[in-house]
A and B are shown apart, each in its own frame.
Chain A
Amino acid sequence: EAQVTQNPRYLITVTGKKLTVTCSQNMNHEYMSWYRQDPGLGLRQIYYSMNVEVTDKGDVPEGYKVSRKEKRNFPLILESPSPNQTSLYFCASSPRTSGANVLTFGAGSRLTVL
């Protein structure tokens, strides 16, 4: 089944404890992206990647890191989490073709930083 898989789905952590949210897709998509979603604010892009070894900042990159060493994986790293990073996180991917590049989203990772 074509899908984007995120882990963990739920996580409660404490301020300053480094964590990684993994994202993997099995559709051979070139484009991958991380979003956070907060009530009333909609989806805000954190980082995106157009292909292997190519990453760029989105609208809210502060406090986050990413890497794209393989086409299928795009982990999100919080080096020193803070309470304002408590949010629902989505990874998404799409092919790089013309026309409607439809995003396929992972199921989401709900992160709470105490």
Chain B
Amino acid sequence: RKEVEQDPGPFNVPEGATVAFNCTYSNSASQSFFWYRQDCRKEPKLLMSVYSSGNEDGRFTAQLNRASQYISLLIRDSKLSDSATYLCVVIRYGQNFVFGPGTRLSVLP
């Protein structure tokens, strides 16, 4: 079993839709969690951190469920510019970053 797993998608949604991604991790010692966004042929960039209490940044909401070992990302009112690959990132003990395979999102006009 991979340490970090995501549904690769693609998720094809119309503009304005709400879409949610999940990411599961296998190492219970994982300490920190993040969502990165990667546009085609570009480098990944930090989208948001994921806090235990859940956190929101505009149209984006991230949540962490330590008991079930998953994190989620919710995007409301999808825009065309949201089309990208969303990478779940987990930091395990020793500060190694582990990237999930990514979930591809296409927002359609």
Chains A and B bind each other: no
Give A contacts to B, CB under 8 Å. Answer: none
Measured CB to CB, the residues of B under 8 A from A are: none
